[in-house]
């Protein structure tokens, strides 16, 4: 999962891209980058870390031009290092091509081998670089035909923004796995992963980019074409965007995230009520489902845990060590609220179970008499190959244990999950959503090599882990080589 933004025809393009990425920070905390075009040259700055740390006043002054694209990274293909940060920039025939990608290609191995046999030399281990190599090989004078030819070769999940000199190109896969929206500030068009980015920069929301659509934005004009058969392709919007990833103030897939999370909580209460003194959430993504749950049952909603907001999102940290550390620092129970109480705890999801177990232990230590854990989505039993870094099945607790066994592992008095049918009942056009991580029903064929690190150490090597300390040194301006 990543955040992407594109800005066209604006004198403050880099600053707007920076603010947009700031609003999209929840989608990726590992690295951030911005690329601009000033009419002659392409500029790029990218660093590891948060958006606010990746840029300073000096670097922002270097990002000249009226066109910009930006990216904040959460790694799903390739290690977490600055070399793999985006946008990915290359030059071909003295012209720059930059891309920022949210999603995961499922035919990476096939395309990578084909390009290598044709002489391509790769600079990173991300699937996004493949797209630029394909563009370099098929370039022609008609931009629409050029992008149609290349993007038709891609399979899997992709929401993309490109910087091709003074043209911003946006694209979305035919299934529409990941969100991408279009906004406007005066004569400037904006592309962004979520509408919360448009809100921050006071841009008017126009519409979502349609699945399979490619939009071309230059100066004050915008045109679009569609990938072949995209109109008839089965939609597969990621429902986990509603459960966890998207910001609650965003509108994605024609629904408001806040309202969906409240509805998930209400449906959860209908399916699995419990006798307790009050309802509480695991902040922050559990907050809104807890509101719906408490409203449905007429139980008080209390704040039993305080979150340290200077700590980032736990789930998207790349190693278990960092996740465990951040769990301890991130949340602190309020003893006077919890002591001697029967509580219903609403959480958005359980992935590995280690984080949930430590939270339950802290609630017990704070004096909770009974803990009834309620999860606002079904058990996560299968990995995701479309842009979420869920581990393999052996690390997913629900793929190896029954609900009763998970409850025993977590040491809760009861544990219940929202049903798949209940989850789908709260969204419009439920048939248009991907729920493979819950059901194992994959709408697009999964890759043969399922490793996140399939492009590292050769395609025949299965990498299980990477040491996050083995990363590239930070550089204020990390430039990609020519293609």
Ramachandran assignment for 74, one of left (phi > 0), alpha (psi -120 to 50 degrees), beta (any other)? beta
Q: Is residue 229 very low, low, confident or very high in pLDDT (cuts 50, 70, 90)? A: very high
**Distance between CA atoms of residues 463 and 265, nearest Å:** 38
At 271 the pLDDT is 98
Q: Give the chain's length.
A: 483
**In the prediction, which pLDDT does 389 show?**
82
Environment class of 446 (CB within 10 Å of its CB; exposed 0-12, middle 13-18, buried 19+): middle
403 vs 320, higher pLDDT:
403
CB 180 within 8 A of CB 5: no
Measured CA to CA in angstroms, residue 41 lies from 94, 189, 264, 481 at distances of: 10, 21, 49, 15
CB–CB of 272/246 below 8 Å?
A: no
Q: Is the pLDDT of residue 476 over 50?
A: no
Q: Indicate the pLDDT class of residue 483, thresholds 50, 70 and 90.
A: very low
pLDDT of 324 > 90? The answer is no
At residue 219, does pLDDT exceed 60? Answer: yes
For the cut 90, the answer to whether the pLDDT of residue 119 exceeds it is no
Q: What is the pLDDT of residues 379-405, one digit of tens each?
A: 999 999 999 887 688 899 999 999 999
Judged against a pLDDT cut of 60, whether residue 412 lies above it is answered with yes
> Would you state the pLDDT for residue 317?
55
Q: Would the pLDDT of 126 be above 50? A: yes
How confident is the model at residue 472, as a pLDDT? 33
Q: Tell me, rounded to whole angstroms, the distance of Cα 319 from its chain centroid.
A: 17
Query: In the predicted model, is pLDDT for residue 69 greater than 70?
Result: yes
The pLDDT assigned to 284 comes to 87
Give the residue numbers marked as catalytic.
2
pLDDT band with cut points at 50, 70 and 90 for residue 221 = very high
* 63 SS3 class: coil
C-alpha closest to that of 166 among 65, 94, 18: 65
CA 101/CA 432 separation, integer angstroms:
22
Alpha helix positions (H), 74-189: 108-117, 128-138, 143-151
**CA geometry: angle 161, 71, 393, nearest 5 deg:** 100
- What number is the average pLDDT over the span 112-134? 90
CA angle 193, 42, 20 (to 5 degrees): 25
What integer is the mean pLDDT of 323-347?
85
Name the average pLDDT for the chain: 89
* Domain boundaries along the sequence of the chain: 3-235, 242-439
Which architecture characterizes domain 242-439 according to CATH? 3-Layer(aba) Sandwich (3.40)
* Token couple for 423: 């989850």
Task: Judge: domain 3-235, CATH 3.40.50.40.
Answer: no
- pLDDT, one tens digit per residue, over 5-53 is 999 999 999 999 999 999 999 999 999 999 999 999 999 999 999 999 9
Question: What are 164-211's pLDDT values in tens digits?
Answer: 999 999 999 999 999 999 999 999 999 999 999 999 999 999 999 999
Query: What token pair was written down for 22?
Result: 């700031």
Tokens for 151, please give them.
């993007």
Distance, C-alpha 462 to centroid of its chain? 24
Lowest mean pLDDT of 187-201, 418-432, 435-449, name the range. Answer: 435-449
């Amino acid at each position: 999962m990543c955040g992407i933004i594109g800005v066209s025809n604006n004198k403050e393009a880099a600053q707007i891209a920076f603010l947009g990425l700031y609003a999209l920070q929840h989608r990726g905390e590992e690295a951030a980058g911005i690329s601009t075009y000033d009419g002659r040259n392409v500029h790029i700055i990218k660093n590891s870390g948060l958006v606010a740390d990746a840029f300073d006043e000096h670097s922002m002054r270097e990002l000249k031009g009226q066109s910009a694209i930006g990216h904040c990274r959460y790694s799903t293909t390739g290690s977490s290092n600055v070399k793999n940060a985006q946008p990915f920039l290359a030059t071909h025939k003295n012209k720059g091509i930059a891309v920022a990608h949210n999603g995961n290609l499922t035919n990476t191995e096939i395309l990578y081998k084909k390009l290598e046999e044709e002489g391509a030399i790769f600079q990173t281990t991300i699937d996004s670089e493949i797209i630029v190599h394909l563009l370099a090989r098929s370039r022609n004078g008609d931009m629409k035909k050029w992008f149609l030819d290349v993007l038709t070769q891609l399979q899997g999940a992709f929401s993309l923004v490109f910087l091709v000199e003074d043209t911003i190109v946006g694209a979305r896969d035919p299934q529409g796995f990941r969100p991408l929206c279009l906004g406007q500030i005066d004569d400037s068009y904006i592309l962004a992963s979520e509408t919360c980015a448009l809100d921050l920069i006071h841009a008017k929301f126009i519409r979502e980019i349609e699945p399979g659509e490619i939009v071309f934005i230059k100066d004050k004009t915008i045109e679009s074409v569609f990938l072949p058969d995209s109109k008839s392709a089965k939609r597969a919007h990621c429902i986990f965007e509603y459960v966890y990833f998207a910001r609650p103030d965003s509108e994605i897939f024609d629904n408001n995230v806040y309202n969906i999370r409240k509805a998930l909580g209400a449906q959860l209460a209908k399916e699995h009520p419990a006798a307790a003194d009050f309802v509480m959430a695991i902040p922050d993504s559990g907050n809104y489902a807890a509101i719906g749950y408490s409203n449905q049952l007429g139980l008080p909603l209390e704040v039993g845990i305080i979150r340290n907001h200077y700590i980032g999102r736990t789930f998207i940290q790349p190693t278990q060590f960092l996740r465990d550390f951040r769990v301890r620092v991130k949340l602190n129970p309020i003893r006077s609220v919890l002591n001697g109480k029967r509580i219903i705890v609403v959480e958005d999801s359980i992935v590995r179970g280690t984080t949930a177990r430590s939270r339950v232990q802290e609630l017990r230590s704070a004096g909770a008499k009974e803990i009834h854990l309620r999860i606002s989505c079904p058990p996560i039993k299968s990995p995701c190959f479309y842009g979420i870094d869920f581990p393999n099945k052996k690390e997913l607790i629900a793929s190896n244990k029954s609900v009763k066994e998970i409850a025993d592992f977590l040491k809760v008095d009861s544990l219940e999950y929202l049903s798949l049918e209940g989850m789908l009942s709260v969204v419009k056009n439920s048939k248009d959503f991907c729920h493979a991580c819950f059901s194992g029903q994959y709408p697009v064929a999964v890759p043969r090599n399922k490793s996140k690190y399939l492009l590292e150490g050769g395609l025949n090597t299965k990498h299980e882990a990477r040491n996050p300390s083995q990363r590239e040194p930070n550089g204020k301006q990390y430039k990609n080589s020519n293609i």
